[in-house]
Each structure stands twice: as structure tokens, then as C-alpha cells.
Amino acid sequence: MRQSKVVLILLVTVVSFLSGCAKDSSTTTITSTGRDAFLGSWSVTESHTKLTYDATISADPNSANGVLISGFAGTVKTGPSAGAVVSGTKITLDADQIIEGLKYNGGGTLSGKTINWNYTIDDGANRITAVATYTKK
């Protein structure tokens, strides 16, 4: 009988120890910024140029929620990338950035595999409002 008490106490101790090691899901930290949904290759249809072209969105290594957009607004893909910041489903271009001599401002909203963009292009004499639709490849 004494041996069964020892086994029972040992069993209760082991079960208590193991249950104390269970992961507490209430303290799990979510570190994703949502930017991953924006990353990748996109097919673009743009209203101002009436052209379709490709753009690539990659993570900005210097920012937790920043991205770099190669080919933004039909600019040369080997040229400078447009910088932007992602917050949830919104993407906002870095203010007043100049790419190939033109100033860009604006942003877009991600819905599924589509980003709907509204932005301005300013050459110093004229300001054009453009609308673009990015569709993920």
C-alpha cells in the first residue's frame, strides 16, 4: 500500500509539472506588420499612361514596415525604387519622393490580391492624378 501512495504522489507531481510547461496562448506576441501580403510581383494597369507593366514590391531592410517598389508608375525597373510604408491593408508612398525627375505622393489599399492606388505625379509645371490597379501574379 505504501508503494502505491509513492507511485500516486509521483504521478501527480509529473502531471502537475507537465501541465505547468504548456504554452500560454494569451501571451503570444504577433510580430507581423502585414507587409508580407504586399511583397512580390505585380501586374499593373495604370490610368494616366494607359499602359500595363510589371512592378515588384520588396521588403525595405531598414524598416520593419517599409517596402521598396521597383517599377512604380512605369518607371525603369533598374532605376531607383519608390519607398512606401505599410500599415494593415494601407500602403503610403514616402512623401514628395522624386523618381526620374518626377515627384510622387499617394497610396493604396490592399484587398485580396489587388492594390488600388491613387497618387499624384508632379513634374514642377503640372500635377497629374493617376489611378493604378496592382494585381498579384
With a cut of 70, say whether residue 32 has pLDDT above it: no
Report which of 100, 30, 33, 101 is spatially closest to residue 63, judged by C-alpha positions.
33
Residue 13 C-alpha cell reads as 507531481
Report which of 80, 62, 84 is spatially closest to residue 71, judged by C-alpha positions.
80
Q: How many CA atoms lie within 13 A of 65 on its CB side?
A: 14
Residues 56 and 84 sit within 8 Å (Cβ to Cβ): no
Delimit the domains of the chain by residue range.
36-136
Residue with the larger pLDDT of the pair 46 and 26? 46
Q: Which CATH number fits domain 36-136: 2.40.128, 1.20.950, 2.60.120, 1.10.760?
A: 2.40.128
81-137 residue pLDDT tens: 999 999 999 999 999 999 989 999 999 999 999 999 999 999 999 999 999 999 999
CA distance 113 to 18: 43
What is the reported pLDDT for 21?
A: 45
Report which of 59, 117, 51, 49 is spatially closest to residue 83, judged by C-alpha positions.
59
